Structures are given as C-alpha cells and as structure tokens.
Amino acid sequence: MSIITVFAGNYCNEETVIKEILKKTSYRYLTDADVVSKAAGLSNLSETKISRAFSAKTPVFNQFTHEKEHSLAYLKLAVAELFVEHKDKILLAGFTSLLVPPIIRDALRICIIADMKYRVSVTTSSGISENEALKIIHKSDEDRIAWTKNILEKDDPWDASIYDMVLPSDKMPLTEIAELVGKTLEKDILQASPASEKAKEDFLLAARIETALAKGGHFIAAEADAGAVTIIINKHVLMLQRLEEELQSLTSKIPGVKSVSTKVGKKFYQADVYRKYDLEAPAKLLLVDDERQFVQTLSDRLRLREIGSVVAYDGESALDLIKEEEPDVMILDLKMPGIDGIEVLKTVKQTNPRIEVIILTGHGTEADKKHCMELGAFAYLEKPVDVNLLSETIKKANEKIRQSRGNT
C-alpha cells in the first residue's frame, strides 16, 4: 500500500470521512498545511504567501513577483520530498493532492463531494443564513475550480475522470466508504513496488528542476525518467534555440540529471510570447497619485526600464490595497483629495514600516520635506522628475529592503 489522495468540496463532511478512512487504513495524514510548511522551509516565501496559491484571486503584484508560480513550484517540491521521506502509507488531503502526477500509479485518487442542498444544510447549522451559506460555498468552489484548471486543465473539480473514486458523502454511510477504500487498496496496482519508488524519485527530480528554473526566471514544466530530463516549452518564443540552450545549461547542473532534452508543448503555438522574468528588478512598486494621465505615463516610462508598477489614484485606495498585499516600494504624491499623502505616509509607517516610501510631489515645501523625512520617507523628490533619477532611487530603496531581509 502506498498513497491515498483526497480532494473534497467544503461542507461535504470531508473531515469525518477522512477520519474513518484513517481508522481503517492507519495511514499517515498530511494536509495542505503540512505541505505549505514544508514549502516555506524550502523557499524564501512565507506560509501566508504560499497559501495564496490556492486562491482563485491572483495577487495584484503577481505580474511582477510571480509569487504564485514560485509557490506552485515549491508546493510540488514539498509534496515530492514528503513522499520520499515517508515512503508509503500516506493520505494527502486538500488542494495539494492534485499535484501528485500520473506517473505515480500506486496512488488511490479520491474525491469527496455532496449535493448543494446537503452542503447548505451543513453550513447553516452554524447559524448563518441560507444566502450567506451559498456565498461561502460558491467562493470555496471558485478556488477549487481555478486550482483544478491551473493544475490539470480541467474546468470541473469533481470530474470523475480525474479520480479513481468519487464518494458522495451525503449518500453513503461512513463505514461503507471506509470499507470500500480499504478493499480498493488491496488491488495489485496500488501496492508499493520498485516501479512506484522510481516514479517518486522521478517526481522529486522534476520538482527540483522546476524550482531551479523558477529561480532563474523560467516557469516551465519538467519531466524526469531515471535521470533523463525533458523540458516542456508551452509558450511561443521568438528565439527558441537560445532558450533551449539556456534551459539545458541550467538543468544539466542539477544533481541527478544525466541528460536533458527539450520539446514544445501543445500550447507552444498560442499567441502570447514566452519571456524570461527578471527577478532582480524591484518587484512590488505602488504608484499613488490622483493625476491619472501623469501617473499612467510614469508607469509606462518605468516599465520601459524593466520596473513594473501598480497604480492607485487616491490615498484611501492605496491603504486598502496595502491591507491585502504589501508593496516593497511606494511612490506617493502629497496633495490628493480625501486622505492626503502625509496621512498615507504616517499610516504606512505605523502599520507597514517595511515599505519604503518615496515622496514625489509638485506642491511641497521645505517644511513638508522635513516632516516627510521625519516620518520615515526614503526620499523626497519633486515634479517634474527625471525618470532616470526616479528609477535609481527606486532601485536603492529596493536594495535597502533586500539587505534588511538578508540580515533578518
């Protein structure tokens, strides 16, 4: 016996079902929390950031940081390492259960689901209204739909073709479910074997390669077979041969790799063009200014210098965004309607002191400059600003952040 994976809808009595299966099988129980903790230990990402990979919502700064892609690479690596560490008799439940690749054939893949009426009744038992219950269930299902589409390219997370068993927890007694799972585990195909151990080692090597490539700015899938590695390029690229040479060079340095080849995947001919991402550029830049034309032009000019940014047009919007996702550097105007720049700076430095704030204003005074620097601003610049000076100031602020993180 080797591995059980369980993917479930919320409010389907899934925890109780899993407990019954564990009683019957005595398997080791691993959850998303265990995998996230392992992934955080393998990377420089926090558990909170890694957990965001499970959400249908893409972080606003992800187009620059690619934290979601990094998180996915490290989640795969964490699952692969846990499998090798614990050998067999593992029950992995949650989003990460779908990361187990088809090459691991001794995995029993289970889906636990119930009809909507039952799920609503479970949710309303805690005292909330039926409408609120439906909202909660639909939100949790949105996350599962987005995750399934991202990992397996399937629109339906409950698609029976994904699993070996789909268990309706509202229609089957728990003991019957546990008995059925126990009997299924006795099948020859689900027994641990040299072939299944090799598959786990191949999974681990592929995951190591994908994380190594991600560190180099490449988010590309890899397959491994006893050290023979295939890199799959799934987006169109203008200079394919150059990319292939770079990927082969990076991959060949990884321990366990015996040979490297590349191939184009089925998405290679789609319209969007693949590019390597510069992970050294300032990652999370927030521009805050109520002059829409000015700030959009500034954003475009910075992008030409490989500095991407997100824009907020007033202080209140900026503070709301910061509550969800913390930028590294903020460029802040002083004179804005509503909450002005001084109040934004003061609030940011009280609640998120790690954010470096660059004041950029056309209406400031020497007194304003002195006050801003006392409040903790990184720099004080005046409009019209030389974009080269501004980009250098941003990079210096970013370097200060990196040094601070390195010391931490």
384 belongs to a structural domain:
yes
Could you read off the pLDDT of 264-274 as tens digits, one per residue? 877 666 555 45
Residues 250 and 334 in one domain: no
Residues 92 and 161 in one domain: yes
Residue 280 has a pLDDT of 52
Phi and psi, residue 377, nearest 5°: -60, 145
For the cut 90, the answer to whether the pLDDT of residue 211 exceeds it is yes
Could you read off the pLDDT of 293-306 as tens digits, one per residue? 999 899 989 888 87
Of 323 and 92, the one with more pLDDT: 92
Residue 62 has a pLDDT of 87
Residues 138 and 80 in one domain: yes
Residues 291 and 350 in one domain: yes
Could you read off the pLDDT of 18-50 as tens digits, one per residue? 999 999 998 999 999 999 999 999 998 999 999
Domain, as residue range, for 368: 285-407
Please state the rounded mean pLDDT for residues 166-174: 94
Phi and psi, residue 207, nearest 5°: -65, -40
Residues 302 and 243 in one domain: no
Residues 229 and 356 in one domain: no
Residues 145 and 104 in one domain: yes
Of 258 and 384, the one with more pLDDT: 258
Please state the rounded mean pLDDT for residues 337-342: 91
360 belongs to a structural domain:
yes
Residues 347 and 243 in one domain: no
Those residues whose C-beta lies under 8 Å from the C-beta of residue 169, and which sit 6 or more positions away, are 12, 13, 14, 17, 112, 113, 114, 177
For the cut 60, the answer to whether the pLDDT of residue 187 exceeds it is yes
144 belongs to a structural domain:
yes
Residue 408 has a pLDDT of 52
Distance CA 351, CA 25 (A): 48
163 belongs to a structural domain:
yes
pLDDT-based confidence at residue 2 (cuts at 50, 70, 90): confident
Residues 316 and 388 in one domain: yes
Residues 234 and 110 in one domain: no
Question: In the chain, pLDDT over 70 holds for what percent of residues?
Answer: 94
293 belongs to a structural domain:
yes
> Number of folded domains in the chain?
3
pLDDT-based confidence at residue 120 (cuts at 50, 70, 90): very high
Place of tokens 């501004």: 390
For the cut 60, the answer to whether the pLDDT of residue 73 exceeds it is yes
CATH number at residue 73: 3.40.50.300
Residues 245 and 373 in one domain: no
Report the phi/psi class of residue 219: left, alpha or beta, with left for phi > 0 and alpha for psi in -120 to 50: beta
